[in-house]
Structure 1
Amino acid sequence: MKNWLRKHPEVRTIRVAAADLNGQARGKRIPARFAEKVAIEGTRFPMSVLNLDIWGEDIDDSPLLFESGDADGVLRPTERGFVPMPWLEAPTALLPIWMYRENGQPYEGDPRHALARVVRRYAEKGLTPVVATELEFFLIDDSGKTLQVPPSPRSGKRRKAAEILSIRALDAFDAFFTDLYEACEEMDIPADTAISEAGLGQFEINLMHGDDALKAADDAWLFKMLVKGLARRHGFAASFMAKPYADYAGTGLHTHFSVQDSEGRNIFSNGGPEGSEALHQAIAGCLAAMPDSTLLFAPHANSYDRLVPGNHAPTGICWAYENRTAAIRVPSGSSGARRIEHRVAGGDVNPYLMLAAILGAALIGMEDGLTPPPPITGNAYAMPLPQIPDNWDSAIRAFEGSPTIARIFPRELIRNLVQTKRQERHYMAELSPEEQVEVYLDTV
């Protein structure tokens, strides 16, 4: 970290930031001349800061507040080190941090520690998850009373229709995407293919797979921050909210993963198209945990507007080979690359909690030797399948009382998240749909 600072004397300020339960960056702005000190010693702020609601307000009656004196946690740099923030005008670097208790133990309410906990359980078994994410987002003109597609900087025209896999739609915002890919290189975010999607002004960029699930979550968290910040520099907004337009598809964050053994072999492969017993057990674990973990895949009021039948988001709890109507898809391709695509999460999730839920459920499936139901064929929306919770309240209750969730996440994180979501649900009920969109547009 010292070397990075010396190689970048142009950096004038730094940000130190951790992800709260909603995936919001919480932290401080520090002059560059004090950056080396914080890189070595870390910093401090209240543990309650990682447990704020979507507006950034304290959680009423949280034991982290007055009951405990609103005590500090110790924030230490993650292994990521400094990364540039190319969306800001002045040369600036971000130092990602995560929270520990005074005694040096990880703070159980930190979502990054929750994912690290799951990864350690894999490592204890000689296993390593290999993870890739696909992030969809909208480019939006939010300068008027209603949201609309921004005009193309090239033509000045608005394309008021979905343009699936349209080169024209990508070229219309070529300057933005060129800057975005250059920024991803600077930030070591492995951005791969970009496509236009089924919503108005909707695009998707895939992040390449890797054998470090924490880095994959870091990449997704940083990518969301980058896209939103860079879009503002280009004169429009970008949003990962689940459903900004009622009449068009919402935004997903699909996760592809496999698991390697200590020899680097993919344990989901058996040399054939059907995949191994471990693959089927992992699928069974993901399906069994799906109702109880929906709150992590659909964490906001707006999230449930996306989870409707026939709208490019899964609603039935099922799996299939090469079938995008299923919640769990096993893509075709070479047997050595056999993997699971988990398709439930919206773009508005906290990537750390999402990956912890998916990988934790898969591991439980393998530990318990679970067997999935037969794979479906055809249109999942037309089948009498068990359903993913379709409303916020049901998802909160399922998450809170789940024995499966208790095997994946620490008790304190479960309690904190439930309190957060109940407070948000209460205040969101007082807002109109338009006011809710305004809240979510820039935050998630």
Structure 2
Amino acid sequence: MTDYLFENPDIKAIRTVAADLNGQARGKRIARRFAAKALTEGTRFPYSVMNLDIWGEDIENSPLVFEAGDPDGILWPTERGFLPVPWLDTPTALLPIWMFHEDGRPYAGDPRQALARVIDRYTARGLTPVVATELEFYIIDDAGRELRVPPSPRSGKRRQQAEILALRQLDAWDNFLTALHDACEDMDIPADTTISEAGPGQFEINLMHQADALKAADDAWLFKLMTGGMARKHGFAASFMAKPYPDYAGNGLHAHFSILDSEGRNILDDGTPRGSDILRHAIAGCLKAMPGSMLMFAPHASSYDRLVPGAHAPTGIAWAYENRTTALRVPAGGGPARRIEHRVAGGDINPYLFLAAILGAALNGIEDGEAPPEPITGNAYNHDLAQLPTTWQAAIDAFEQSPEIARIFAPELIANLLATKRQELHYMSELSAQEQTDLYLDTV
């Protein structure tokens, strides 16, 4: 990793950075001359830093704080190594890190460690999940009291209408989108297709599938961090908030996954249009865990504004072949392309917890060998389906009570996340809708 600094002598500062339970970037700025310490001695944070609320405050009565003396964990660099920070003027290198105990054991309250724990379950069975993500976001002029689409750099006009797959929208924002893709290339984020979406100033960028779920989560997390930074560099905001505009489409974050065996064969495919029995077992596991996982898919107060019937966000627990109204979609195409698309989550999620919940649930289903209900046809909103939790409180309760969640996440992480969300729920009631929007616009 030191080669990066040798090859980039202009670097003046290092940012060591980890994701907390809300997906917030927590870290330190280190002068270049002391960068080697982060590699040889690690970086120290209090364990409690991984468990702050959305305002960045300690959790009241947390056993990690005063009761324990607020001790430090030690954070070591991830496999990623140093990365450029293209949104800052000062030449800076980013060093992603994750938390361990002093004796080398992974810290169970670290969301990246939670995903690694799920991947270890797959590895023990000789299996490898292959993951791709689709991320939706808005670019927003937030300088005034009302959120608005920024004026087009080409025309100077604010186009306040839906622009689904509109080339003129891509053309209007070509400089920003090009800078975004250049930054992805610099940071080794495999950004593929970009489209304009259903809201004014809304875009979706797809990150290519890869047989490394940890890197897929890293890519999604870094993409969110980078997009926000690049937008500010261009004079506006970018937000993955689930529903920044009441009257326009929300931001989703969809994941596609398949599963390879030790010989590299996709075990979700059996050469038929129906797919393998393992495909259906994985679907059964995802459906069964879906109510308890809702806190991963809709983690914030504003997340539930997106989850309304007829708004291209699923509200019922169902699956189907080639049907975008369901929570789980099996896209067309067999062989290596046979996969499951999970469509519930908003753009405001923590990618590590999100993928841990999805992949852990699928493996639960494979281990149990259960069959799912029959796939539905037609508009899922018109079916009489079991419903996903519709409120933040209901999602918190379902998460706490779910036996499926207990199989996926460590007890410490479950307890920490429950404490975080209950504190946020309590204090969020004191904020107006405008104050909530101001809070979430940049943080999630």
The TM-score bracket by the shorter chain reads over 0.9
Which residue is equivalent to 1:379? 379
Report the equivalent of 1:167: 167
TM-score, normalised relative to structure 2: 0.99
2:317 is matched with: 317
Partner of residue 73, structure 1: 73
Partner of 1:389: 389
CA–CA distance in structure 2, aligned partners of residues 281 and 26 of structure 1: 38
Say whether the 8 Å CA contact 2:269–2:334 is kept in structure 1: no
Give distance in 1, aligned partners of 2:427 and 2:214: 33
Deviation at 1:334, TM superposition (A): 3.5
Q: Compute the displacement of 1:273 (Å).
A: 1.4
Partner residue of 2:231? 231
CA distance in 2, matches of 1:318, 1:389: 14
Q: Which residue does 2:354 correspond to in 1?
A: 354
Tell me which amino acid in the other structure corresponds to 2:46.
P
Structure 1 contact 282–361 (Cα < 8 Å) conserved = yes
- Contact 1:48/1:65 (8 A) holds in 2: yes
**Preserved contact between residue 17 and residue 25 of structure 1 (Cα < 8 Å):** yes
CA distance in 1, matches of 2:252, 2:226: 18
Unaligned stretches of 5+ residues in structure 2: none
Cα displacement string for residues 235-257 of structure 1 (whole angstroms, at most 9, x for unaligned residues): 10000000001111100000000
Is the CA contact (8 Å cut-off) linking 2:251 and 2:347 kept in structure 1? yes
1: CA distance between counterparts of 2:94 and 2:424?
29
> How far apart in 2 are the matches of 1:127 and 1:164?
38
Percentage of identical aligned residues: 71
3-state SS of the aligned residue for 1:206?
Answer: strand
Cα distance between partner residues in 2 of 1:65 and 1:336? 48
Counterpart in 2 of 1:54? Answer: 54
- Could you say which residue in structure 2 is the equivalent of 1:158? 158
1:204-243 paired onto structure 2 within 5 Å: 204-243=204-243
Q: Which residue of 1 aligns with 2:329?
A: 329
Instruction: Describe the superposition over 1:311-368 as per-residue Cα deviations: whole angstroms up to 9, x where unpaired.
Output: 0100010000000000000000243310000000100000000000000000000000
- Partner deviation per Cα, 1:33-86 (whole Å, 9 max, x = no partner): 111221222110100000000000000010000000001000111111001110
Residue 122 of structure 2 corresponds to 122
* SS across alignment from 1:66: coil
Structure 1, 32-41 or 193-202: larger mean CA deviation: 32-41
Query: 1:31-430 maps to which residues of 2 (within 5 A)?
Result: 31-430=31-430
Q: Could you tell me which amino acid in structure 2 is paired with residue 262 of structure 1?
A: S
Kindly provide the amino acid, as one letter, of the partner of residue 409 in structure 1. Answer: F
Q: Deviations over 1:268-293 (max 9, x none)?
A: 00112111000000000000000000
The one-letter code of the counterpart of 2:128 is T
TM-score, normalised to structure 1's length? Answer: 0.99
Q: Which consecutive unaligned segments of at least 5 residues does structure 1 have?
A: none
How far off its partner does 1:266 sit?
0.2
**Equivalent-residue separation in structure 2 for 1:125 and 1:168 (angstroms):** 48
- The Cα shift of 1:147 comes to 0.2
Report the AA paired with residue 209 of structure 1. H
Contact 1:46–1:70, Cα closer than 8 Å, also in 2: yes
Between the two proteins, the alignment pairs up a number of residues equal to 444
Amino acid at match of 2:23: G
On the 8 A contact 2:321/2:331 being kept in 1, the answer is yes
Report the AA paired with residue 296 of structure 1.
Answer: M
Distance 1:37 1:72 in 2: 16
Q: Secondary structure at the match of 1:67?
A: coil
Q: Match for 2:360: what amino acid?
A: G
